[in-house]
Structures are given as structure tokens and as C-alpha cells.
Amino acid sequence: METHICRLDGFYPREIDAFWTRDGEVWQKKTLHAPVAPNADGTYHYWLSIRIDPKERSRYRCHVEHNGLQEPLDLDLEGERLQGGEGWALWQAGRWWERNLAPGVSRCEHT
């Protein structure tokens, strides 16, 4: 089993809807999340995690809806390893988020 963390940072306003999906359906088994919390610059951050079988990684997405986005994000768990060995990064999705909800960044980590 492995744990993935979807981190959403730098968004405003505070209201955000983020959850895990499996094969396109909302998935709540073996998930955790923190409350939305403020950053020092007046934006907000949020995280949610999921514990899954690594063989099924391609079936899961972190789904994000926010008023600052032009369309919802579906972030997959496949990606490049972050420098320093911190986990799996959603580089493509992170760049999309930055273009559409500056200065926000989104990434998913594998622990």
C-alpha cells in the first residue's frame, strides 16, 4: 500500500471542493483531509490523502473545483519524482493551476 497527498496551495477565495475519485466515481475509503487553512499572504491551502494499492494508481484522481479555475481539475497520480525524493509531482497539472489560479500550485506526493 502507498499513501498519496494532494496539496492545494495559494487559492482564494477560501471555498474549495476537492475529493478523490476512482474510475470517475467519488471515492472516500482510506482517505483523510485537513481543514482549509489560511496562508500568511491571505490565500488558503488544503490537503487530502488516500492510501491505495500501487498497482491501481492509474484508477485514482484528485478532483478539484474552485471559483478561480476555468474548469475543474482532475489530477492523476502518475508523474515525475520530485527532487529530494519527496514524492510524485503533478508537474503538468501544477503548471495549469498556476496559469489559471495564480499564485496557486497543486501537487500530489507519494509517501
pLDDT interval class at 2 (50, 70, 90): confident
**Residue labelled with grid coordinates 471542493:** 17
pLDDT at position 68: 83
Tell which CATH architecture fits domain 2-80. Answer: Sandwich (2.60)
Domain ranges of the chain: 2-80
Residue whose entry in the numeric block shows the C-alpha cell 488516500: 50
Question: What pTM did the predictor assign?
Answer: 0.71
Q: Is 2 helix (H, G, I), strand (E, B) or coil?
A: strand
SS3 70: coil
Task: Give the residue with greater pLDDT, 102 vs 37.
Answer: 37
pLDDT computed for residue 7 by the predictor: 86
